[in-house]
Amino acid sequence: MKNNSLLESILNYQLWLTLALTKIRVRFIRTALGPIWEILGTSIFLVFISFIWSKLWGDTFFDFFCYLYSGFIIWKAISSIIGDGTYLFSDTYSNYFENISINPFIFCMSHTAKNFIVLLMNFPILIIILIINDSFYLISVLWMLIYFILFLITGVSTSFILATFCLKFRDLQFSIIVLLQLIFFMTPVIWKIDQLSGNAQRFIIEPNLLYHYIELFRTIALSGEINMKSLIIVSITTLLLTITSLIIYKKFNKKLIFWIA
């Protein structure tokens, strides 16, 4: 068994990719449409929401649909990384810990890869609506690649930190899920930032790190431009989360198995 060191685990892409694809495949097993449900479900939901919301807020349907689609798919990926990440070690992969000697980062990479693949599955629809809306820019591809790197690193380190702490303090798992539901309504995913007054923007939106991850993705997708403020915040957050996860790994790696048992 040679899955122990951190570097070997990162390089062992075959294993974490297999774990990720297995989870996706098993989720849709015995269905006729398979993973197409992922795209279909999101699209149908967002078409209906956009129809109602655009009427409520006097926006055009298509503009609002583009805004909502780009924000919602990234929110879904982020919330799934955080939400499912809370029980990654205590439930999803606990059997693996007890049966093989394996680096826990493998599971975090698999978890992030799974959510990233699901995000990518929604991309064809996003690209189609951007082309129809005449707002598809080639430069977006370059910015998007940079965003993806930051997103993946954040995903791995966040899920490791959450999975470790939620394994030790099981109440945290439920608190985070409640908090995540609240944050959804406090983050401009299904509403627009300009609907808030100046002070509310400063106190509700700016400190919300998830907003910056969503805003960065949305500006790249919709305008081909980059929101520098969000890019800086996202980069610093990614760096801090990575350092934190490595410190936690070094300190608690050997204790994880005892927290599971």
Partner 1 sequence: MIKIEVKNLVLKYPIKNLNNYLFRAKVINKIKKIFYKDKDIETDKKEKNIKEIKALNNINFTINSNDRLGLIGFNGSGKSTLLRCLSNILPIEQGSISIEGADYLPIIQPYAMCEPDDSLYNNIFLIAQLFGFKKNKIKKQINEILEFAELTEYKDRSLSTLSTGMKFKFVFSISFVLEGKKIFFIDEFFTTGDEKFQNKGFDFIKKKNDQIIVMCSHSRKIIEKFCNKILILDKGEQIYFGDALEGLDRYKHQIKN
Residues near partner 1 (CB under 8 A):
1-4, 14-15, 18-19, 22, 25-26, 29-30, 95-102, 170, 254, 257-258, 261
Residue 94 contacts by C-beta under 8 Å, 6 or more apart in sequence? 260
Least CB distance from residue 3 to partner 1, whole Å? 6
Q: Which CB sits closer to partner 1, 7 or 138?
A: 7
Nearer to partner 1, 14 or 197 (CB): 14
- Measured in degrees and rounded to the nearest 5, phi and psi for residue 122 equal -85, -5
Provide the residue count of the chain: 261
Q: Which is nearer to partner 1, 2 or 197 (CB)?
A: 2
The least CB distance from residue 157 to partner 1, in Å, is 23
Token duo for residue 136: 């598809």
Smaller CB distance to partner 1: residue 99 or 199? 99
Q: Cβ 113 to partner 1, closest distance in Å? A: 14
Buried b (16+ CB within 10 A) or exposed e, 149-182: ebbbbbbbbbbbbbbbbbbeeeeebeebbeebee
Report the distance separating Cα 140 and Cα 234, nearest Å: 17
Token readout for 100 is 């093989």
CB of 60 or CB of 175, closer to partner 1: 175
- The C-alpha atoms of residue 35 and residue 24 are separated, in whole angstroms, by 8
Q: How far is the CB of 27 from partner 1 (least distance, A)?
A: 9
Residue 163: CB minimum distance to partner 1, A: 18
Nearest distance from C-beta of residue 210 to partner 1, angstroms: 30
Measure the CA angle with vertex 167, ends 162 and 171; round to 5°: 85
* Comparison of 96 and 191: residue with beta carbon closer to partner 1: 96
Nearest Cα to Cα of residue 65 among 78, 80, 54, 79: 54
DSSP line for 215-235: HHHHHHHHHS---HHHHHHHH
